[in-house]
């Protein structure tokens, strides 16, 4: 377990402004929403995500982000003071991002970029995201990232020094202090989702099935989205489904095939696990890990990326180039089974952290505006 993020001290003598208007891409994502002071005391007003073309009026969908269009910047530049980019530029090539940067500069709008991902978990080819970062990181007036390791990598690659701010809570405050449901046994979970490119599910599941064989009252629960078994879906992967169904048929795991969970279903699922194993082979940070920390579910994260610097968790060897170190995964599972640690956030601690995160964002924006 690596040292966790410590919030930097707030600097004094920051120029005061009544409010700061931020065009945040996106605004509705849970990470961005929880970077705001819950009492509204930070004086930061984030513009609502414009609805993409074709989205119904009742939709909360923010992707693809309309604000990334330079024409939107030209038409709405007098409505915001700072442009803050987080996610959603997957489909934007370097030329499009250069045009966005030029539009912001044309109207004198500073760009803040939070580097959540140094490697995009949704893209098998690292090239497009690398090319996007080569535009955004040098162009940003200020950078933020979530862990010291990511900050060091940014410094090494681009000679830029980001502000390091921790990921805020994901789960709502009332649930953070709610007692975990009592139950017997030891449940290990792998959520395969829709088999996004950074997942190597079957090697991890097979190693876990072997690890749990000799542990009394231990079970392996594997969840996967229904579209993986749908021949008409983009995520269709019949070989993975057949392999998981075979393991389930042999009594080595329980397999649950379902549609996407809503938040309530997801929190119930995570709260029912003793250990959530992330089967990632590349990536940088994880909101899933943060949700588990909110709910008191232990996480085993791969040693790629900087997951271990986010919150207390266990690490095992797994990467795209090195493959799976099954022995280290076995050791992690056995230790968790014997020790049963309860590394969990508190509502009070998360609230205080969120207030500091919000104040740090406000300070950064205000200093940029002079």
- For the segment 188-214, what is each residue's pLDDT rounded down to a tens digit? 999 999 999 999 999 999 999 999 999
Angle, vertex CA 22, rays to CA 20 and CA 23, nearest 5: 160
Which of 299, 41, 83 shows the shortest CA–CA distance to 188? Answer: 299
Confidence band, pLDDT 50/70/90 cuts, at residue 34? very high
- Encode pLDDT of 294-307 as tens digits: 999 999 999 999 99
The CA distance from 211 to 209, in Å, is 6
Neighbours of 205 (CB within 10 A): 24
Cβ contact 295:208 at 8 Å: no
Tokens of 237: 């992967």
Tokens of 262: 């809503």
Cβ contact 360:10 at 8 Å: yes
Angle, vertex CA 29, rays to CA 149 and CA 157, nearest 5: 25
Q: Is the N-terminal amide bond of 26 cis, ω within 30° of 0?
A: yes
112-133 mean pLDDT: 98
Percent of the chain past pLDDT 90, that is, above it, reads 89
- The DSSP annotation for 179-248 comes to PPPP-SSEEEEEE-TT--TTB-HHHHHHHHHHHHTTSTTEEEEEEEEGGGG-TTSTT--HHHHHHHHHHH
Cα four-point dihedral sign 277, 278, 284, 285 = negative
Q: How much is the pLDDT for 4?
A: 62
pLDDT of 22 above 90? yes
pLDDT of 3 above 70? no
pLDDT of 278 above 70? yes
19-35 mean pLDDT: 97
3-20 mean pLDDT: 60
Confidence band, pLDDT 50/70/90 cuts, at residue 52? confident
pLDDT of 16 above 70? no
Q: How much is the pLDDT for 51?
A: 85
Q: What is the DSSP letter of 146?
A: S
- Encode pLDDT of 70-101 as tens digits: 999 999 999 999 999 999 999 999 999 999 99
- Encode pLDDT of 312-352 as tens digits: 999 999 999 999 999 999 999 999 999 999 999 999 999 99
| CA atoms within 13 A of residue 117's CA, in its CB half-sphere | 22
Q: How much is the pLDDT for 57?
A: 47
Q: How much is the pLDDT for 12?
A: 42
Q: What's the chain's average pLDDT? A: 94
155-181 mean pLDDT: 97
Tokens of 43: 């004086």
Pairing of strands 323-324, 318-319: antiparallel
């Amino acid at each position: 377990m690596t040292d966790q993020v410590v919030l930097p001290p707030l600097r004094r003598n920051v120029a005061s402004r009544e409010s700061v208007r931020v065009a945040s891409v996106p605004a509705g994502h849970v990470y961005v929403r929880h970077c705001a002071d819950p009492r509204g005391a930070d004086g930061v007003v984030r513009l609502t995500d414009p609805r993409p073309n074709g989205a119904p009026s009742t939709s909360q969908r923010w992707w693809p982000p309309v604000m990334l269009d330079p024409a939107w910047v030209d038409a709405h530049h007098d409505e915001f003071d700072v442009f803050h980019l987080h996610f959603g530029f997957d489909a934007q090539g370097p030329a499009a991002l250069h045009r966005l940067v030029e539009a912001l500069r044309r109207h004198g709008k500073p760009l803040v970029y939070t580097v959540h991902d140094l490697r995009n978990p949704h893209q098998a080819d690292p090239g497009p995201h690398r090319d996007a970062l080569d535009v955004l990181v040098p162009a940003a007036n200020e950078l933020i990232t979530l862990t010291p390791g990511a900050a060091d990598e940014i410094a090494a690659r681009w000679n830029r020094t980001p502000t390091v701010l921790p990921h805020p809570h994901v789960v709502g405050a009332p649930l953070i202090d709610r007692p975990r449901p009592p139950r017997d046994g030891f449940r290990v979970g792998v959520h395969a989702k829709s088999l996004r490119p950074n997942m190597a599910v079957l090697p991890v599941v097979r190693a876990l099935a072997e690890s749990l064989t000799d542990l009394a009252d231990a079970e392996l629960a594997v969840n996967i989205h229904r579209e993986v078994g749908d021949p008409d879906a983009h995520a269709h992967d019949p070989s993975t489904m057949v392999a998981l169904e075979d393991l389930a048929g042999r009594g080595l795991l329980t397999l649950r095939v379902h549609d996407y969970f809503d938040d309530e279903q997801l929190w119930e699922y995570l709260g029912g696990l003793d250990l959530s194993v992330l089967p990632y082979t590349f990536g940088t940070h994880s909101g899933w890990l943060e949700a588990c920390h909110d709910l008191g579910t232990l996480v085993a994260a791969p040693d790629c990326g900087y997951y271990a610097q986010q919150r207390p968790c266990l690490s095992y060897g797994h990467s795209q180039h090195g493959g799976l170190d099954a022995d280290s995964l076995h050791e992690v599972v056995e230790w968790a089974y014997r020790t049963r640690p309860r590394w969990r956030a508190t509502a009070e601690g998360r609230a205080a952290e969120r207030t500091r995160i919000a104040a740090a964002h406000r300070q950064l924006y205000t200093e940029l505006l002079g």
